[in-house]
Chain A
Amino acid sequence: MRRIDRRNLLHFGAALPLALHSLANRSEARSNSIKAPKRIIFICNSLGFYRPNFFPTERGNLESSKYLSGLANREKLTVFQNLFHPGMETSNHDSEKSYLTGAAKPEAPNFANTISVDQILAKHIGGDTRFPFLSFSIYDRGWGCSWNDQGVAIPPMHDTNQIFNKLFGEEDLSAKRRQIRNDQKIVDCLHHDMRRLEDHGTREAKAKIATYRKVIGELEKRLAHEAFWLKTQKPNIPNTLSRDSEFAFSTKVSNLLQLAKLAFQTDSTRIITLSLDWIYGAIQVPGATGGWHTLSHHGGRPEVIDKLTRIEMDIIKHLNQFLITLAETPDGNGTLLDHTTVVVGSNFGDSSNHTCNNLPTFVAGGGMRHHAHRVLDKPTPLCNLWLDLLQCHDVDIGKFGSSDENSKLFPV
């Protein structure tokens, strides 16, 4: 892929600043900064996890799960059983779009998505960091887990070196400043043009302007946020991303998780989504090669499940490594893991059958009181968990997506 050589501030696929309003609160936030900030990462494994390997076979005992028994820090982990998204008990791959939004019937032709939970967090608590949020994916598909308040996909970043440079690379600041000043002038010009049309335009023109004004308003906030952060030096971090090209998929997953950890550690952002998206085509992990999607339709055949398990085990291995590094990194009066909620799950309960009930989900770290294995009595909307996690981050919006009641999944 061709790299855009950019002198300017707006990088592609960038998940850029949002919240200007919090600039005013910044000094306040700084004075409280002795207390470590809360962070969160949502990881969606878009082809699910083979459930017999994922869930504990013996209630309450994580040792009885093939995947989870190998995880370190099991005492800081809760696996949830019986979560689902109402309105997509069965679905196709479109269910991935609704993973963090809970919007029903994503496969319908007139489907319109809604805001994703990470974006709500970004609006409330994202303004204090250089990047209000970051959104990653494996491939360049243009959409991942994050959706803005218009239900429009926020293109995730997928090139790990580009992400690294965005987080820690040097920039030509004077050029950037000039660029921002110029862009602000352009935005002013466009506002003038819109005002004129608002007075004289047709009804359709007015509808267009309403749309455009919203989009450009966002861009303006980003410009202001960027301008603010230009005054602060980026953290100086050596690039230690792996370049193993034999297991490209594996390398990608592990590098993305490493970048997530670095972003948290340097307080570059507090909110990350990671879409472990798939494409047709084969991937290679130690011990297995095959089309991930093809293998996910295992139809119960043992030799196929064996290969799929190797792919999933490889992902679990990297997740485990991620949890271990977080737990090893001191942060405030604890470790990074204590202050980072790690959410791992999928939009598919069983991708072989394309069903979306009993979504494999676990939450680790974050300083919550964990209870190993929580089997919910009845199918419970996944949005209840999202709402709960919002509250854990001091964001109270009452209801989110299909959440039905404030059934506390985590006692605060």
Chain B
Amino acid sequence: MRFLSLALSLYFLCWGTWAQPYPHAAQTNELFTKYCLGCHEGPDAEGNLDLSELLAREQFDNTLIFENVATEKMPPAEADAPAPAEREKILKWLANQQPASIPRPFRRISRYEFVHSINDLLGTELDLAFGIPEDRGTNTFDSNRRIQLSPDMLGSYFAVADEMLEHALPQMGFVKEQTWVTDKLLDSHETYNIYVKDYKEGTLFSWTRANNGNSYSFFYDNFNPPAAGWYELTFESAKVGDLNGDASLQVHAGKYYYADDRPQPQRLLDVISLGSDELESQTIRAFLRPGENVSVHCFHKDNFREKAPKRGVYIRRLTARGPLQDTWPPRRYKSLFGDLPLSIKPQNAAQVSSETETNASSTQALRYRSNLEKIGGSISVSSFQPGMEKENMLDGSNRTFWHTRFEPTLAKPPHFIVIKNPNRFEITGLSYATWTGGNGNGQVEKFEVYTSENGVEWGTPICTGELETRLANEQPISFPEPIAARFIKLVATESFSLDGRSLASIGKLDVIASIDVNLTKKLVAIESRNSEDLRQVVKRFAERAFSSNLTVSELQPYFDVAERVFQRDGDFIEAAKAGFKAVMCSHRFLLAPGEHSSRELAKKAALIRILWLSVPDEQLIASDLSLRGQIELALADERSNRMVRSLCEQWLNLRAWKTIAPSLKLYPLYDDLLEHYLPLETTAYLAYLIRENRPVGELIDSDYSFLNQRLADHYGIEGIVGQHLRRVQFEMDTPRGGLLTMGSVMKVTTDGFQTSPILRGAWISKNILGTPLSPPPDSVQAIEPEMSAGSTSVREQIELPQESQTCNACHKSIDPYGFALENYDATGRWRNNYQQKLPHKNTFKYRPRGYFRLAGEVDSAGVVGDQEFADIHGLKRLLLTNDRKVAYNFAKKFFEYANGYEPSLTQRIGLLEMTSGECRMRDIVINVLEHSLENLAGRGR
């Protein structure tokens, strides 16, 4: 592939506006007459295409004709084929006839490029692209130059820039890193409590899914991330009992739910794989925000809903540490501010904490169990039953509780709790939770709140109210205004009682006080008052962000905005942030290509935008490698995985992944683990093909993939233990390997219910073979298959239109690919029979065997052109005979991804030549990049 002949370079050089020499029109006309006009002439021409009429025109859009000739779809198999040289002549002539269409010279950078660039510039790891609206529309690639910057997107970029700057350089300081331990679970719905039990020093879980099919996850108590940031969650856990292979511990984050047997899905943070019955510590990293809880769901396919389980996953305890900083102070201060001296001041520390050490990465377990503890408060109660003391309200669990005395004598009302607030903190309310799991005796129904300065005189209540019984969630009691009194009394005036006795009980009670006063924060500041220092900081940032050397006059506006803030607030870092934000929101940053001080820098910026979705780092800026060397360097960096992910999401359409939910009736075993790992398999595979420069044919077929225990089980492959992805070698007859048979692709080509050979055929045609598809003609009744009780097989329904000539013209070359994939259900599992959905009684209730019965046998045979295949192996062989087509298509897609527009026909001839020999993935990527960048219209000043 290094041949890249002179002729080829010529083509690429011609990518500009030159006209290229092209075969004489008369010669080409002869070729058209010889090979095409037999069918495509006159009013009754095939496919309504009258070529002789078209050819007579000065200019016409001939892309479709070009592609059909280039990919040898035309002339059809049964007709005479032109010799390669003749084909080339036709193509060149067509290319020359293409109306000149010059793509817009610039484009807006995508939300992913924006967020990755800023993360790299600031040294943060924030995944905020989600929060910015999708603006890809119906274009295949985010990079498409037709997508314009809209005021809404600019508004979003302003907002995200703020959020990222604030996270990186917080004005109010960093929350000190904390470490805390919890072994208590929050109460869950009684339907599911039976599937866990106290075990040794912690809890044993069996696998259960909620009645609506969601992973039923159990929440940890006393878990509240103090600030948005990265945390380490360390689980001490083990597999218990005779279970084959590893058991999995899924760690989720989300909002705690209770009294809801149809829980909402949680965000899967990571998976811990457990193979041993010895306790071991495993740590995951996760980004958490205040208000998010951590929950766990344990999975092993053999212990579904074992009551009072004897086997499953044992978790002793969870240790959380965070918010984490890479170093202290964070490394980014050095990279953004250079050697300017920092000053680090604790904030509010005097008020709450007496400790003086300044090292934020202290790993000492330091965490208050309640706000009450933080404000130095305490409580006393009117009476208590031994074993149900007041401390039980403060231990962070609503399963242990305080109860008024009932034995040997019944305590008389009033029942109350007095909260002492010696430091006179401002308290805005109380947080109350019932005790759960018992008979409900004593749950408070009505209450009154009093305050006092001496603990003796209480006056009139400051508020009264009612509380829900039988609700485990915390219920806030809001005071009409914040109270700073030394004593607060909560009186239970009415309580639930089974037998009419006067009782009171509380599971959890705490004060609500403003969080800020309770957090130790560390403020990082720069003492410099020198605006020249500020200018240097803004200059360094702007030069990296713009990938250009900048003159003072270029920088002046950015200096001005920073200096104005500096003059107003006197805060160096806030002033720098204003300058940074202006840089991030400027047209030079948001519209690519930017203006660069040299062609070299322009190329580097373009290269890194394509491969890392970011801006070049210092190493690359300084590099004097050849362009090819730079490409290789950038590809070898792990940041190039962003490009692979982009390709999977856009080229292979995996961005639709989460919008398709497989039916739980038909595919009951589909779960969070598959949802998580199936796309990772595809990304890992594609990354491998490129990194290892594998032959293009491995897009279609290979004898390996990247699997873990869950995926292997899904694919029916034995002997894979543990949930880390690794390269797995397939047996000879395994119907896997290549993209087509991956569960990810099989899922995005369905609606989650039935498979559709048409959709799958179209996916292969469009994304792998690059065969152009036309929309159905107006006269056709479109159908999509729907397998319901009593209907015929999918194939019969689809083959109906094949009787009609109109449909057959196109569908004969689309659907057959889909037929071969009928053996894969909507989740990519192998099947020999279709499933027919069965009704369920009453409300849907999840069960692992689903609600279906087996229907007709799958027939995966088909015919493409004049070649027959019996099954997927046959289809793959058939596709592999034309791997050049696959290579050409991949080159075309990668070109479009990299450049933001579809290649012109002249450029396509270049791509065709590039893919004429033996084709390997990395070569194609490098060649397309090299030629795209060589011709970059980047200019110096």
Q: How far is the CB of B559 from chain A (nearest CB, A)?
A: 9
In the complex with contacts A190-B582, A193-B586, A196-B553, A142-B158 CB distance below 8 A: no
Q: Please, which residues of chain B bring their CB within 8 A of the CB of A190?
A: 557, 582, 585-587
Residue of A148, A193, A279 touching B558 (CB-CB under 8 A): A193
Any B CB within 8 A of the CB of A375: no
Any B CB within 8 A of the CB of A265: no
Q: How far is the CB of B301 from chain A (nearest CB, A)?
A: 25
What is the CA–CA distance of A295 and B786 in the complex, to the nearest angstrom?
A: 8
Chain B 421-463: CB-based contact to A (< 8 A → 1; otherwise 0):
0000000000000000000000000000000000000000000
Chain A 136-165: CB-based contact to B (< 8 A → 1; otherwise 0):
000111110000101011110000000000
Judge whether A192 and B152 touch: CB under 8 Å: no
In the complex with contacts A185-B565, A207-B106, A304-B786 CB distance below 8 A: yes
Judge whether A204 and B778 touch: CB under 8 Å: no
Q: Please, which residues of chain B bring their CB within 8 A of the CB of A2?
A: 127-128, 130-131
Q: Please, which residues of chain B bring their CB within 8 A of the CB of A183?
A: 158
Any A CB within 8 A of the CB of B354: no
Chain A 197-223: CB-based contact to B (< 8 A → 1; otherwise 0):
100011011011101100110110010
In the complex with contacts A5-B163, A281-B659, A12-B264 CB distance below 8 A: no
Any A CB within 8 A of the CB of B151: yes
Q: Please, which residues of chain A bring their CB within 8 A of the CB of B409?
A: none
Any A CB within 8 A of the CB of B784: yes
Judge whether A13 and B163 touch: CB under 8 Å: no
Any A CB within 8 A of the CB of B101: yes
Judge whether A155 and B780 touch: CB under 8 Å: no
Judge whether A185 and B578 touch: CB under 8 Å: yes
Stretch from A59-67, A267-275, A333-341, A349-357 contacting the other chain: A349-357
What is the CA–CA distance of A155 and B561 in the complex, to the nearest angstrom?
A: 30
A112 closest partner in B (C-beta)? B146
Judge whether B156 and A192 touch: CB under 8 Å: no
What is the CA–CA distance of A23 and B560 in the complex, to the nearest angstrom?
A: 30
Judge whether B782 and A299 touch: CB under 8 Å: yes
A188 closest partner in B (C-beta)? B561
Q: Please, which residues of chain A bring their CB within 8 A of the CB of B557?
A: 189-190, 192-193, 196
Main SS of the interface on chain A?
Answer: loop
Q: Which residue, of A91, A140, A196, A297, has the highest number of chain B Cβ atoms within 10 A? A: A297
Q: How far is the CB of B940 from chain A (nearest CB, A)?
A: 10
In the complex with contacts A2-B127, A14-B155, A204-B105, A294-B553 CB distance below 8 A: no
For the complex, count residues of A whose C-beta is within 8 A of B. Answer: 84
Judge whether B155 and A10 touch: CB under 8 Å: yes
Report B561-608 residues with CB < 8 Å from chain A CB.
561, 564-565, 578, 581-582, 585-588, 590-591, 595
In the complex with contacts A1-B130, A140-B134, A222-B151 CB distance below 8 A: yes
Q: Please, which residues of chain B bring their CB within 8 A of the CB of A148?
A: 150-151
What is the CA–CA distance of A204 and B103 in the complex, to the nearest angstrom?
A: 12
Any A CB within 8 A of the CB of B343: no
Residue of B149, B152, B554, B660 touching A280 (CB-CB under 8 A): B660
Any A CB within 8 A of the CB of B752: yes
Any B CB within 8 A of the CB of A16: yes
Chain B 780-794: CB-based contact to A (< 8 A → 1; otherwise 0):
111110101001000
Q: How far is the CB of A98 from chain B (nearest CB, A)?
A: 12
Any A CB within 8 A of the CB of B262: yes
What is the CA–CA distance of A282 and B666 in the complex, to the nearest angstrom?
A: 12
Residue of A6, A90, A139, A293 touching B163 (CB-CB under 8 A): A6
B132 closest partner in A (C-beta)? A12
Judge whether A297 and B661 touch: CB under 8 Å: no
Any A CB within 8 A of the CB of B138: yes
Judge whether A281 and B134 touch: CB under 8 Å: no
Judge whether A197 and B786 touch: CB under 8 Å: no
What is the CA–CA distance of A153 and B228 in the complex, to the nearest angstrom?
A: 32
Any B CB within 8 A of the CB of A53: no
Judge whether B784 and A4 touch: CB under 8 Å: no
Any A CB within 8 A of the CB of B21: no
Judge whether A205 and B149 touch: CB under 8 Å: no
Chain B 735-750: CB-based contact to A (< 8 A → 1; otherwise 0):
0000000000000001
Any A CB within 8 A of the CB of B159: yes
Q: How far is the CB of B275 from chain A (nearest CB, A)?
A: 32
Judge whether B150 and A215 touch: CB under 8 Å: yes
Any A CB within 8 A of the CB of B16: no
What is the CA–CA distance of A88 and B473 in the complex, to the nearest angstrom?
A: 54
Q: Please, which residues of chain A bring their CB within 8 A of the CB of B264?
A: 245
Q: How far is the CB of A249 from chain B (nearest CB, A)?
A: 12
Q: How far is the CB of B596 from chain A (nearest CB, A)?
A: 11
Report A285-331 residues with CB < 8 Å from chain B CB.
290-291, 293-295, 297, 299-301, 303-304
Q: Please, which residues of chain B bring their CB within 8 A of the CB of A112?
A: 146
Judge whether B150 and A354 touch: CB under 8 Å: no
Q: How far is the CB of B841 from chain A (nearest CB, A)?
A: 15
Q: Please, which residues of chain A bring their CB within 8 A of the CB of B783?
A: 297, 299, 301
What is the CA–CA distance of A295 and B784 in the complex, to the nearest angstrom?
A: 8
Q: Please, which residues of chain B bring their CB within 8 A of the CB of A22?
A: none
Any B CB within 8 A of the CB of A107: yes
Q: Please, which residues of chain B bring their CB within 8 A of the CB of A216?
A: 154
Q: Please, which residues of chain A bring their CB within 8 A of the CB of B262?
A: 245-246
Any A CB within 8 A of the CB of B939: yes
What is the CA–CA distance of A202 and B595 in the complex, to the nearest angstrom?
A: 9
Q: Which residue, of A16, A94, A219, has the highest number of chain B Cβ atoms within 10 A? A: A219
Judge whether B781 and A299 touch: CB under 8 Å: yes
Q: Please, which residues of chain A bring their CB within 8 A of the CB of B788?
A: 303
A-B interface, 9 closest residue pairs, ranked by CB to CB distance from nearest: A142-B134, A155-B133, A291-B751, A299-B783, A192-B557, A4-B131, A218-B151, A189-B561, A212-B587
* Additional pairs, 17, CB under 8 Å, beyond known A185-B565, A207-B105, A219-B154: A10-B155, A12-B131, A141-B134, A150-B150, A182-B581, A188-B561, A190-B582, A193-B558, A193-B588, A202-B939, A204-B937, A211-B148, A216-B154, A218-B151, A219-B158, A280-B656, A291-B751
- Give the interface of A toward B (CB within 8 A): 1-8, 10-16, 89-92, 94, 97, 107, 109-110, 112, 139-143, 148, 150, 152-155, 179, 182-183, 185-186, 188-190, 192-194, 196-197, 201-202, 204-205, 207-209, 211-212, 215-216, 218-219, 222, 245-246, 279-282, 290-291, 293-295, 297, 299-301, 303-304, 352-355
**Can you list 28 residue pairs at the A/B interface with Cβ under 8 Å?**
A5-B163, A15-B152, A16-B152, A112-B146, A148-B151, A150-B150, A155-B135, A182-B578, A182-B581, A193-B557, A196-B556, A196-B557, A197-B595, A202-B595, A202-B939, A204-B937, A205-B595, A212-B590, A215-B150, A215-B151, A218-B151, A279-B659, A280-B659, A294-B754, A295-B786, A297-B784, A301-B783, A353-B782
